[in-house]
Every structure is written in C-alpha cells, then in structure tokens.
Amino acid sequence: MKLNVWSKALSVGVAASLACFTPAVAFGSPESDAEALGSQLESVGSLSGGMSLDDALCGSESLLDSISEADSPFDSDSEIELQSVLEFPDCNPNEWYASAVTYVSDKGLITGYNDGTFGPYDNVTRGQLVTILWRMEGKPVSSSAGFSDVSSSDFYYSAALWAQKNGVIKGYGDGTFGGERLITREEAAVMLANYANFKGYDTASDKAALMRISGWREADSWALDSLGWCVDQGLMSGKDTPSGAYLDPMGSTWRSAMAKMIMVLDRDVFGNPEPAPDPEPTESQAQKEQRVLASFQKSLDDSGLSAKGARVGIVTDRETGEHAYLVVQPLNMTLSQVRYGYRNISDYRSSLIDLTETLKETSGSMYGYSVQEGANLSVRIGLFSSDDEVIYAAENGSTIVPLSYTMR
C-alpha cells in the first residue's frame, strides 16, 4: 500500500473523527454545562480501572525515538565508477588520472596516506614503487642478503627482500638500495620491466617507438631496453610539454602518473580484470526502519495531527528485543471525561467508536506500508487521554486494547 493511502486515512479519517473530541464540542461550551460536568464527574470514581501507557505497551521501553531528521542512506550525486577517487579530497574526478587512481586504490596497490589524501602530485620513492610491485605479487614472504641501508623498521623492508631475491631490484654497486630516494623515470622503467620479466613476459624492444620521443638520448644505456619496452606497452609516453612529448628519463614521477603505469601494467599487459564495481548502496535494517519512520512522521505533520499532539516513534519489547512503530494520539480530555461522554452522550459514543475503527484500519494500512518498504515492523496505534491512560489501541489492523475494556 502506498504511503499516500494510509496518509489520507490519517489526515482525513482520524483528523475528522478527532474534531468531535474536545470538551467544547462533546459537552457544550456554556459555563453552566462545564460546572454541571464538573459536579457529575465527581461521582464517576477513580481512574484505576484504566490502563497506563506503559501497561498498554506490554513491557516496551524507549517509547519515542527522535526522528526530526532521518539520514538518507543514499547520495544521489555519487558516481560509483569513480568512488575511490572521490574518496580522496585532494583528487579531482575529472582529471586524467581519475580512472587510474580508482583502479589502483580499489585493488589496494597504491593506497592513500593516513590523513585520507592520495597525493596525486607527490613524487614516488624507490621504496614506494618496490612496495607497489610486492603488493601486486600478493605480498610474498622472502629472505635475501638484503641491503645495508634497509632495516626491518622500514615500511618497504619485506618488499625489498622479495624484490632483491627475484631480480626485480639490484640496488647500487655499494650494496645500498636508497629506498627513500625519489625514483627516476628510467629507474622506474627498469624496475617495471624487471618485474614483468620475473612474471615470464618478454621485455625485449627494438626501441623504435622510444626513439620518436624527445629526450630519449638523455637516458643511461643500461635503461634503454626497459624504457623501450615501457613505451611499447603504453606504460610511458613522455611528459606533455609545449614542444611535444618529452621522455625526461632523469626526472621524477608523480603518484598519479605511477598509478596510470601500474594500471596499464596490471590490466593491459598482465591481463588482470578490472576491479569489480562497488555494489549499489543498500539500506541496513535500521536505515529502513528510520526511513519509514520519517515517512510516518511527515504524514502526521502534513495532516496537522502533530500539532494536535500526535507522536510516532519506535518501541522495543524488553523481552524479545523486537521493534515496533507506535503512533500515540492523545485526546484533550481525561479518562474520566471520556468515560462520562461514552456512557451518557450517544453522539459522543458513536464518534468514539467510529474513531477506533479508523485507527484499527489505519494501523493495518501503515503495517502494509512498513512491510512493502522492507522495514517489516508491526504498527501499534494508541488513543490516549490527557492523563496518559489508554482508551483504545490497535496493531496491524486488529484491536489489542478494546474500547469496552477501558470504558467499563
């Protein structure tokens, strides 16, 4: 059942019925009638025959949760395909590196800093690149002779041991690795090609494509084959300059540029699949309950019943822990006044009976909406006197506190 169906039942049926339940309407407005009513009520007796709000809830607690503004579990502006890059406040999803940052982040190959940023224009160190390749390999545990400047406290310690053992890195001739040094583009090319060779890929190159890029002659001879292979595979294409692409073999490499190299290596060269897209955001049970609760509250507000004192919330059964929606509709009369009108004024009695029927049907309609929207909570509606005694209560379209019981 759609929300507007039970909303109409509340706003039209209940509100119209409640119009009868004010002392001025039910008993007349002249002062003489009020005085006569006062004297007659003295003989009605105590209120002990009624049920309190707590009794009616059968051991429930946390009567009315605050729902002034229920949080939506959805963000209509989110772009699922760029979810990772959007999570980094210093990244722009419209920049050239967006898909690469998303790829490496989703796969855990290049992660952000502790402060939540990615640092797209920070330069990559030798220790960072060897750690990236080690992550690509699944973080294997290896032992090797090690480097004199690498200790177990370095974040790249395990990666350096693995890379040295498998020929991915060789270090400098003096037995050092230089993990904190910024890696040059030619050094990065050698490390990437060495890793591909370790994986069994042919890294030979005729260097024809490399030689069409300005600056290639600035590279060291020991790096030319690796640079040629990186260019052949699309890992490198030169830096954009006003005069065209420039290889810049001695220059440093941005983290965003390295993210693109790693994406091409992993996805295109190694043929690994793209990360699975994030699943569509789903609501938790608590979020469904709160969303439906907010809908119920809005309906009470729109119908004007909130202004008349109607409240809606979630109650928790102490014994079972189950939740249920509770709608409380108070009357501007004490239980004694309601009893007097029920027993002595036929029009009042008829209006009260009609109102309870409306409440019963409305509880069923609201329950149907709760189930339809996945909240699956029962709906209880209680009619209360101004002194918080239950007059009538219904749940899911059935009476649970009969009018005849409280009017006896």
Residue 331's pLDDT is 85
Q: Do 153 and 185 belong together in one domain? A: yes
CA distance 114 to 53: 51
Determine, yes or no, domain membership for 213.
yes
Helix, strand or coil, per DSSP, at residue 393: strand
**Strand runs (DSSP E) across 282-397, as ranges?**
311-317, 323-330, 378-384, 389-395
CA distance 362 to 209: 76
Close Cβ partners of 79 (under 8 Å, ≥ 6 residues apart): 86, 93
- Concatenated DSSP letters for 49-103? TSEEHHHHTTSEE------TTPPPS--TT--GGGHHHHTSTT--TTSTTHHHHHH
Mean of pLDDT over the chain: 80
Q: Do 147 and 209 belong together in one domain? A: yes
Whether 219 has a pLDDT exceeding 80, the answer reads: yes
Question: Per the structure block, which two tokens stand in for 368?
Answer: 């149907």
Determine, yes or no, domain membership for 159.
yes
Q: Which of 245, 269, 293 is the last residue of a domain?
A: 269
Label residue 315 by pLDDT band (50, 70, 90): confident
Helix, strand, coil percentages in the chain from 3-state DSSP, rounded to 5: 45, 10, 45
Q: Do 40 and 112 belong together in one domain? A: no
* Tens digits of residue pLDDT in 104-163: 999 999 988 888 899 999 999 999 999 999 999 999 988 888 899 999 999 999 999 999
The mean per-residue pLDDT over the stretch 278-295 comes to: 84
Q: Do 121 and 257 belong together in one domain? A: yes
Identify which of 359, 350, 352, 310 has the alpha carbon closest to the alpha carbon of residue 330: 310
Determine, yes or no, domain membership for 224.
yes
Go through 133-145 and write b for each residue having 16 or more CB atoms within 10 A of its CB, e for each that does not: bbbbbeeeeeeee
pTM of the shown model: 0.52
Q: Do 181 and 120 belong together in one domain? A: yes
Q: Do 55 and 157 belong together in one domain? A: no
Q: Do 214 and 186 belong together in one domain? A: yes
Label residue 278 by pLDDT band (50, 70, 90): low
Whole-angstrom CA distances from 336 to 38, 223, 317, 382, 407 are 10, 97, 29, 17, 9
Confirm if 391 and 335 have CB atoms less than 8 A apart.
yes
Q: Do 375 and 402 belong together in one domain? A: yes
Q: Do 332 and 366 belong together in one domain? A: yes
Residue 322's pLDDT is 84
Confirm if 130 and 169 have CB atoms less than 8 A apart.
yes
Question: Per the structure block, which two tokens stand in for 291?
Answer: 């969303």
Residue 46's pLDDT is 26
Whether 385 has a pLDDT exceeding 50, the answer reads: yes
Helix (H) or strand (E) holding 401: strand 398-401
Determine, yes or no, domain membership for 214.
yes
Q: Do 300 and 373 belong together in one domain? A: yes
The bridge status of strand 398-401 relative to strand 389-395 is antiparallel
Count: domains in the chain: 2
* Tens digits of residue pLDDT in 263-273: 999 999 999 98
* Tens digits of residue pLDDT in 53-109: 444 444 333 333 322 222 222 222 223 233 468 889 999 999 999 999 999 999 999
Determine, yes or no, domain membership for 275.
no
- Concatenated DSSP letters for 183-204? PPHHHHHHHHHHHHHHTT----
Whether 207 has a pLDDT exceeding 90, the answer reads: yes
Residue 239's pLDDT is 92
Identify which of 160, 162, 182, 155 has the alpha carbon closest to the alpha carbon of residue 171: 160
Confirm if 403 and 386 have CB atoms less than 8 A apart.
no
Q: Which of 269, 300, 319 is the last residue of a domain?
A: 269
Torsion, Cα of 21, 23, 26, 31 (10° steps): -170
Determine, yes or no, domain membership for 162.
yes
Torsion, Cα of 152, 157, 160, 164 (10° steps): 30
Residue 80's pLDDT is 27
Determine, yes or no, domain membership for 278.
no
Residue 96's pLDDT is 94
Determine, yes or no, domain membership for 274.
no
Structural domain that includes position 163: 80-269
Identify which of 28, 9, 19 has the alpha carbon closest to the alpha carbon of residue 351: 19
Helix (H) or strand (E) holding 354: helix 346-372
Q: How would you class 284 by CB atoms within 10 Å of its CB: exposed for 0-12, middle for 13-18, buried for 19 or more?
A: exposed
Sign of CA dihedral 275, 265, 241, 243: negative
**% pLDDT > 90, the chain:** 50
* Tens digits of residue pLDDT in 167-192: 999 988 899 999 999 999 999 999 99
* Tens digits of residue pLDDT in 221-265: 999 999 999 999 999 999 999 999 999 999 999 999 999 999 999
**Helix 126-136 crosses helix 185-198 at what angle (to 10 degrees)?**
20
Q: Which of 269, 298, 323 is the last residue of a domain?
A: 269
Residue 126's pLDDT is 96
Q: Do 260 and 329 belong together in one domain? A: no
* Tens digits of residue pLDDT in 8-36: 444 444 444 444 333 322 333 223 333 33
Confirm if 238 and 213 have CB atoms less than 8 A apart.
yes
Q: Do 136 and 198 belong together in one domain? A: yes
Question: Per the structure block, which two tokens stand in for 73?
Answer: 């579990």
Whether 374 has a pLDDT exceeding 50, the answer reads: yes
Identify which of 240, 211, 242, 237 has the alpha carbon closest to the alpha carbon of residue 224: 211
Close Cβ partners of 393 (under 8 Å, ≥ 6 residues apart): 56, 380, 381, 382, 383, 399, 400, 401
